[in-house]
Structure 1
């Protein structure tokens, strides 16, 4: 797949909610404005960026050009949930010594470049060698999107497995129950001015996809993962937990899983819906996507 393949296909049958608003280069490259500048600097020495392959929750409708990148997770001995940060090494690029965050995981090359779009590449937390206060744990934000989270947590609290004990039956009146229990939060942002927004979901569907590669969901849909994707899910998820960088790849808005009542108008009540321009993502369909990540500042 080339970078151009990340643009709208000529005849894909996908619904179009925004037409003629931005050029294909903006959509394909970064999902934000300024694509001409980005295209001119993606080969900047020592800054990373360029053509990147990432595992993402699939974009199925709306103007977003691709899925949102997944964050691999792990659970510590106390049940606290954290994101995996790639292994950091030093290398020389175009005569400049730089740090690189990259590792092999589940048959994929997991890299910090997965998250280099929407301006996140400038955030302190995305720098390879940065060590955030309290490590790589996911924390609740001060203004969570879900009432259960607002009732049970305070801003800055770590997410723990026990908070999601009702994940097999949870519902909030949007879509059907039993699809999973979501939360909104931050990652690698403690002690920084920039906040990396994430969405965390514990779902029996993710658990079954990792275990068997196929699941029949309460909404009547069947989701499947091929051998490579199942291998990735086994390595990047745990106990049904999955996480992703919650930045819409269209114009960097913040979508939500089963969060917006209006999502039913776009058949997105059981998925991740972006209310700004009606992009839809499905966290039970994990795909490999190719895009142009932005370079980190020197």
Structure 2
């Protein structure tokens, strides 16, 4: 195909990609699943990246190699939703002091490295001590995905009250009553659009009951609250932005009641967070300080 030919014409509804993102994504390794249920990475990385265990919503179909990473949720006293950011610490790595964001949460080390793939590792909001609040805020294009979000303005903080009808909500895609979703952004205020960290938030009765059924109840209790779950909304295949009940064509691929990526038909189950492993990419400044040649354009390095 000629280099300048668009393989995803506008009428297809699929997204176009920056060459650097696609090129880096092509480096992703094929996933292998062992008896432990953890998917292992096959590529290496430098300071600020490397083999990383995390919890993500389960990938159940399509070419995506692994689940999208969860963002633990907390709700403040006014009902506003926030994503937990790991504690910032200073460590000595290769003889140099570097800042890292990590903490023990729900029986696992939760760190900013969970989100270091698909170019996100270059975003300013992922820097451990970035001056950002952690509220989930309405994304610019939210109302084009979900009609109910047209009552909100871009940048508004999401509140529990926005999801009051979550037990019955439906939009004509799949079954109603499975939960109410929202498109949001996180740690992205006053940054250029290309550094927006896309997030999907979902409230569901299934999430409320999940700790009783999950193999990892400690994590579920630590990462969800009042039936809310959230994840970094970057498909682990080629970095598209998927959606729960956001595409009518998802029914053709068995994804009408799940999270569906319209680019290459990957499907994720938000009601089954699983423990996974992948190779996170180093942030550019970390790669430079350690002499690593890790990709700063950031594609899927995993899994």
TM over 0.5: yes
Partner of 1:180: 179
Partner of 1:272: 259
Partner of 1:57: 57
Partner of 1:253: 240
Report the TM-score when normalising by structure 1. Answer: 0.81
Distance in 2, matches of 1:255 and 1:249, equals: 10
Partner of 1:160: 159
Say if 1:28 and 1:292, in contact at 8 Å, map to a contact too: no
1:88 to 1:28, Cα distance in 2 relative to 1, 3 A: farther
Say if 1:80 and 1:161, in contact at 8 Å, map to a contact too: yes
Partner of 2:168: 169
Say if 2:198 and 2:233, in contact at 8 Å, map to a contact too: yes
Distance in 2, matches of 1:169 and 1:230, equals: 26
Partner of 2:203: 202
Distance in 1, matches of 2:58 and 2:43, equals: 24
Query: In the alignment, which of 26, 29, 32 is matched to residue 28 of structure 2?
Result: 26
Runs of 4+ in 1 over 6 A off after TM superposition: 21-24
| Aligned positions of 1:120-135 closer than 5 A | 120-132=120-132, 135=133
Distance in 2, matches of 1:86 and 1:260, equals: 33
How far off its partner does 1:27 sit?
3.7
Deviation track 1:18-74 (CA, whole Å, cap 9, x = no partner) reads xxx999851459xxxxxxxx956x12xxx4101111100000000000000000010
Partner of 2:113: 113
How far off its partner does 1:178 sit?
1.1
Distance in 1, matches of 2:284 and 2:149, equals: 35
5+ long unaligned stretches in structure 2:
1-22, 32-41, 286-303
Deviation track 1:107-162 (CA, whole Å, cap 9, x = no partner) reads 11101000000000000000000121xx1000001211200011x20000000000
Number of aligned residue pairs = 249
Partner of 1:142: 140
Matched, 1:192 2:179: no
1:125 to 1:268, Cα distance in 2 relative to 1, 3 A: same
Higher relative contact order (CA 8 A, sep 6+): 2
1:240 to 1:127, Cα distance in 2 relative to 1, 3 A: same
Distance in 2, matches of 1:243 and 1:78, equals: 19
Residue 209 of structure 2 aligns to a residue whose secondary structure is: helix
Matched, 1:296 2:286: no
Matched, 1:287 2:274: yes
Distance in 2, matches of 1:117 and 1:75, equals: 27
Distance in 1, matches of 2:258 and 2:153, equals: 26
Distance in 1, matches of 2:161 and 2:153, equals: 16
1:264 to 1:22, Cα distance in 2 relative to 1, 3 A: farther
Distance in 2, matches of 1:148 and 1:56, equals: 26
